[in-house]
């Protein structure tokens, strides 16, 4: 029978072996990501290929993880492969129908006995649910040999049973405050300016570090002459412009509306995600869900109009309850 000290030594050895095995894999530093929030993915490459240095690292961005962007790495060349998404996902300032599907860092040389990190940012869309695990397959190429960290466990199985598991993160619920019940902002009254009526002004919430925010509203012209929405402003941003999302050759693109957006006589124009919208640029601070933001719109004839934007959820596709229809 083994003595307590010998059994303890075996236990410590087994624990060390388990830890060493885990560290030998390519993994993501942050093992948790929130739905409808930004995610900073840091791939940790801990070794080469049996003594051979790593010269290329390629990560596949899974469906539902959108707006992916790699961080440049000194001494390495960064390349991306783009393609269409299975469906459109809400982005920072409009729906996204295509984006980066794979990121590759190449041309460098990471010795087998050294450790390094390869970083990208992305948005975790509403395609995922809390508790779900999302996998980012990685192919690590060396001067001699290759490691393919691409295995995904079958339903009901654990990644610990795999020889070469893909790096993964677990999805957590968003910690952004809800805007329902007693905490919801009071409904904003419609604003009139000359022959124009402005309703439902709202802004999408933004994550920390974001530089742009989308604004939305509805404008009705009760007059007999057209007017133009020329610009917008909020204290959060350095400037505001009127933009349009439109399909060009099967690709959704965004561009500024030159000369302003026409509000036809007797007509209503709705600025909404995926179409015409306001673009607030060079944000000084984030727009926080559940708050309100004072701002102005500038029209060619009606002049400058003050109004209050309510801040909806990150990736929201419609106005928050407090900004719903007010006639």
Is the predicted pLDDT of residue 61 greater than 70, yes or no? yes
Mean pLDDT score of the chain, rounded to an integer? Answer: 84
* Same domain, yes or no: 139 and 201: no
**How many residues can be counted in the chain?**
327
Binned at pLDDT 50, 70 and 90, residue 321 comes out as low
Q: If you average pLDDT over residues 67-92, what whole number do you get?
A: 92
Mean pLDDT (whole number) for 159-163 = 85
Pair (167, 83) in one structural domain: yes
Examine residue 221 and state whether it is found in any structural domain, yes or no.
Answer: yes
Number of H helices, E strands in the chain: 1, 23
- Whether residue 134 lies inside any domain: the answer is yes
Residue 204 domain flag: yes
| Average pLDDT value for residue range 142-164 | 89
The band of 189, judged by pLDDT with boundaries at 50, 70 and 90, is low
Is the pLDDT score of 125 beyond 70? Answer: yes
Give the count of beta carbons closer than 10 Å to the beta carbon of residue 289: 22
Query: In this structure, are 149 and 119 located in the same domain?
Result: yes
Question: End of a domain among 137, 172, 207?
Answer: 172
Residues 196 and 92 in one domain: no
Greater confidence, 18 or 139? 139
Query: Is 235 part of a structural domain of the chain?
Result: yes
Domain with 142 in it: what CATH number? Answer: 2.60.40.2230
Neighbours of 228 (CB within 10 A): 16
Residues 200, 148 share a domain: no
Cα 127 to its chain centre, rounded Å, is: 12
Which residue, of 172, 207, 227, is where some domain finishes? 172
Same domain, 192 and 79: no
- 132 with 248, same domain: the answer is no
The pTM of the full predicted model, rounded to 2 decimals, is: 0.53
pLDDT exceeds cutoff 80 at 86: yes
Mean pLDDT of 76-98: 88
Q: Is residue 114 part of a domain?
A: yes
Name the helix (H) or strand (E) containing 148. Answer: strand 146-149
Q: Do 209 and 152 belong to one domain?
A: no
Q: Are residues 269 and 143 in the same domain?
A: no
* Model pLDDT, residue 269: 95
- Is 3 part of any domain? no
Task: Give the model's pLDDT for residue 4.
Answer: 39
| Number of domains comprising the chain | 2
Same domain flag for 245 and 212? yes
Give yes or no: residues 230 and 163 share one domain. no
Give me the half-sphere count of Cα atoms (radius 13 Å) on the Cβ side of residue 98.
Answer: 13
> Which residues 6+ apart lie within 8 Å of 312 measured at CB?
179, 202, 203, 204, 205, 289, 318, 319, 320, 323
Tokens of 244: 């349009």
Pick the closest to residue 124 from 32, 58, 214 (CA basis). 32
Average pLDDT of the segment spanning 247-261? 80
Q: Is the pLDDT of residue 322 over 90?
A: no
In a domain, 11, yes or no: no
Residues 142-169, mean pLDDT to the nearest whole number: 90
Which residues are CB-contacts of 264 (< 8 A; sequence separation ≥ 6)?
Answer: 221, 226
User: Does 233 map to a domain?
Assistant: yes
53 & 161 share domain: yes
CATH classification of the domain holding 208: 2.60.40.1890
Measured in whole angstroms, the distance separating CA 226 from the mean position of its chain's CA atoms is: 37
How far apart are alpha carbons 292 and 311 in whole angstroms? 6
Range of the domain at 60: 26-172
Alpha-helix runs per DSSP H in the chain: 4-24
**Range among 59-68, 286-295, 314-323 with highest mean pLDDT value:** 59-68
């Amino acid at each position: 029978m083994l003595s307590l000290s010998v059994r303890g030594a075996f236990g410590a050895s087994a624990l060390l072996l388990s830890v060493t095995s885990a560290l030998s894999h390519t993994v993501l530093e942050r093992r948790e990501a929130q739905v409808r929030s930004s995610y900073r993915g840091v791939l940790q490459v801990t070794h080469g290929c049996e003594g051979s240095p790593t010269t290329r690292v390629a990560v596949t961005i899974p469906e539902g993880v959108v707006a992916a962007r790699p961080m440049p790495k000194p001494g390495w060349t960064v390349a991306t492969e783009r393609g269409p998404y299975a469906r459109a996902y809400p982005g920072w300032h409009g729906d996204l129908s295509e984006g980066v599907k794979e990121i590759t860092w190449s041309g460098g040389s990471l010795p087998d006995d050294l450790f390094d990190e390869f970083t990208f940012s992305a948005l975790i869309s509403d395609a995922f649910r809390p508790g779900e695990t999302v996998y980012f397959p990685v192919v690590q190429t060396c001067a001699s040999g290759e490691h393919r960290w691409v295995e995904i466990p079958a339903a009901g199985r654990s990644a610990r049973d795999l020889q070469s598991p893909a790096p993964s993160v677990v999805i957590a619920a968003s910690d952004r405050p809800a805007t329902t019940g007693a905490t919801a902002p009071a409904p904003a009254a419609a604003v009139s300016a000359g022959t124009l009526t402005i309703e439902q002004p709202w802004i999408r919430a933004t994550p920390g570090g974001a530089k742009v925010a989308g604004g939305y509203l509805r404008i009705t012209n009760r007059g007999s002459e057209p007017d133009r929405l020329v610009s917008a402003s909020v204290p959060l941003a350095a400037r505001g412009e009127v933009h349009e999302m439109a399909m060009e050759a099967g690709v959704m693109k965004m561009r500024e509306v030159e000369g302003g957006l026409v509000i036809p006589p007797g007509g209503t124009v709705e600025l909404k995600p995926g179409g015409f919208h306001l673009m607030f640029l060079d944000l000084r601070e984030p727009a926080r869900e559940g708050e309100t933001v004072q701002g102005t719109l500038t029209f060619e004839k009606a002049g400058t109009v003050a109004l209050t934007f309510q801040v909806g959820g990150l990736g929201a596709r419609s106005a928050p309850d407090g900004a719903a229809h007010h006639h």
